[in-house]
Amino acid sequence: DQQVKQNSPSLSVQEGRISILNCDYTNSMFDYFLWYKKYPAEGPTFLISISSIKDKNEDGRFTVFLNKSAKHLSLHIVPSQPGDSAVYFCAAHDRGSTLGRLYFGRGTQLTVWP
Amino acid sequence: NAGVTQTPKFQVLKTGQSMTLQCAQDMNHEYMSWYRQDPGMGLRLIHYSVGAGITDQGEVPNGYNVSRSTTEDFPLRLLSAAPSQTSVYFCASRRSNNQPQHFGDGTRLSIL
């Protein structure tokens, strides 16, 4: 039973345009959400996070939006660059849980073409 | 600062062989985890630990054992390798529940 879902396995965007990656979750106890980026033959690297007390967090070209009522978050990349081509994983967890387990989506392959 | 170090990077095993995937972190992180990544399946949690001497199962623990005798090390053991365990394995660590995880570069394991 997937608690974090990324329904688009792939996304193709032209350089300079906006990339929007989506993520849905089912567990209302989740209060901390993260995005990771993964290049081939490397481990995932942390990109940006958001707490459930916020609805937006921005870091340079990357912005994450959280809609708690819809249990939905999205990652916006503006402007997209070819170096952004990677697999993006959405993750979530309940910080009140002592076990601290992190739940991942299946990832979205972003391709940014020139 | 080495971060999370996984060894080996690549390994080929025969069915029934055993081996240990090593993971070490030098950041004094309490939380450590093992994941496997398979095509179209994302990152699935195998086992995790919230401190030395404390481990628990994730969503796909069968066929794997772990132990955590020190803060730094979190080895993953395959007692009798099966072809279904062919995958890329990632180890990760984080300081606390409020911090993002740091991942190693992975071990690519093939079981013939």
The DSSP annotation for chain B comes to ---EEEE-SEEEE-TT--EEEEEEESS--SEEEEEEEETTTEEEEEEEEEETTEEEE-SS-TTEEE--SSSSB--EEESS--GGG-EEEEEEEESSTTS--EE---EEEEE-
Chain B residues touching A97 at Cβ < 8 A: 97
Q: Which of B41, B40, B39, B29 is nearest to B91 (CA)?
A: B29
Q: Which DSSP helix (H) or strand (E) runs through A62? A: strand A62-67
Q: Across the A/B interface, how many CB contacts are shorter than 8 Å? A: 55
**Residue B70, number of CB atoms within 10 A of its CB:** 10
Instruction: Read off the pLDDT of residues A18-30 as tens digits, 9 standing for 90 and up.
Output: 999 999 999 999 9
Burial degree of B92 (CB within 10 A; 0-12, 13-18, 19+): buried
The answer to whether A5 contacts chain B (CB < 8 Å) is: no
Poorest-pLDDT segment among A39-53, A97-111, B95-109: A97-111
Confidence of residue B97 (pLDDT cuts 50, 70, 90): confident
Q: Mutating which of B47, B101, B107 best tests the A interface, going by the most A Cβ atoms within 10 A?
A: B101
pLDDT score of A95 more than 80: no
Chain A residues touching B44 at Cβ < 8 A: 104
CB contact under 8 A, B106 and A42: yes
Chain B residues touching A5 at Cβ < 8 A: none
Q: What is the mean pLDDT of chain A?
A: 94
The answer to whether B102 contacts chain A (CB < 8 Å) is: yes
How far does B1 lie from chain A, in Å, by closest CA?
Answer: 16
